[in-house]
Amino acid sequence: MPCRVTASPHPTLLSLTQLLDRCDLRTQRRSGPGGQHRNKTSSGAFLTDRETGLVGEATERRSQAQNRDVALQRLRYLLAIEIRTPSPLVEDGGAVDSLESEFRQRYTGHPFRLNESNPDKAALLALLLNDLWVAGGQPSLVAPAWSVSTSKLTNLLRSHPPALGRVNQFRVHHDRLPLH
């Protein structure tokens, strides 16, 4: 599955409000568990990013607001996996946005242990995936740029299986064995 390349900053670095502003919200009723009120309201939320066409969805909660928040979080992770922006590891890779640079400085040397609900986790994964994309999926080439160990970097990738899967796609493309 090829990556989509866009200009900086990566969409996961946008504030939740900014990301919501560039999305269309669609609601609908969904069947399934949830009690007697589940199908009486349109509580399912589908957020479509107008710029990429990617969709985050959530239908498991009875509250539309809760489903919208979950859909937004899922959209951020989907953007992190699917969208690539220029990496500073490539000299002629293009200009890196100041928002991206500030974020990189904040997390350089960080232990990379972030809770799944931390809004920065999707952005950190996105920037790491940008770097791993240009490095052919080699964590040993990316870890020094972030001043972390290779194991900390791979542990972060393992904490979100779709990110590890994406890196393994980069590695297969470059005839390397997958990470586990």
Give the distance, in angstroms, between the CA of residue 139 and the centroid of all CA atoms in the same chain. Answer: 18
Name the residue with tokens 């919501």.
20
Cβ count within 10 A of residue 82: 20
Which residue, 142, 141, 116, 129, is CA-closest to 168? 129
The answer to whether residues 51 and 66 belong to one domain is yes
pLDDT at 83 over 90: yes
What confidence category does residue 91 fall into, taking pLDDT thresholds of 50, 70 and 90? low
What confidence category does residue 32 fall into, taking pLDDT thresholds of 50, 70 and 90? low
Tell me the mean pLDDT in the region 153-179: 95
What's the pLDDT at 3?
74
pLDDT at 33 over 90: no
pTM of the model: 0.88
What's the pLDDT at 43?
83
The answer to whether residues 104 and 140 belong to one domain is yes
Can you tell me the distance from the alpha carbon of 159 to that of 154, in angstroms, rounded to the nearest whole number? 9
The answer to whether residues 92 and 167 belong to one domain is yes
Residue scoring higher pLDDT (146 or 90): 146
Evaluate whether residue 1 is within a structural domain.
Answer: no
The answer to whether residues 98 and 63 belong to one domain is no
pLDDT at 149 over 60: yes
The answer to whether residues 75 and 92 belong to one domain is no
The answer to whether residues 103 and 69 belong to one domain is no
The answer to whether residues 97 and 56 belong to one domain is no
- How many domains is the chain built from? 2
The answer to whether residues 120 and 149 belong to one domain is yes
The answer to whether residues 110 and 164 belong to one domain is yes
CA 168 to each of CA 22, 56, 119, 177: distance values in angstroms, whole numbers, following the listed order = 30, 23, 24, 8
Structural domain containing residue 104: 88-173
pLDDT at 10 over 70: yes
The answer to whether residues 98 and 169 belong to one domain is yes
The answer to whether residues 15 and 65 belong to one domain is yes
CATH number, domain at 75? 3.30.160.20
pLDDT tens per residue, range 107-142: 999 999 999 889 899 999 999 999 999 999 999 999
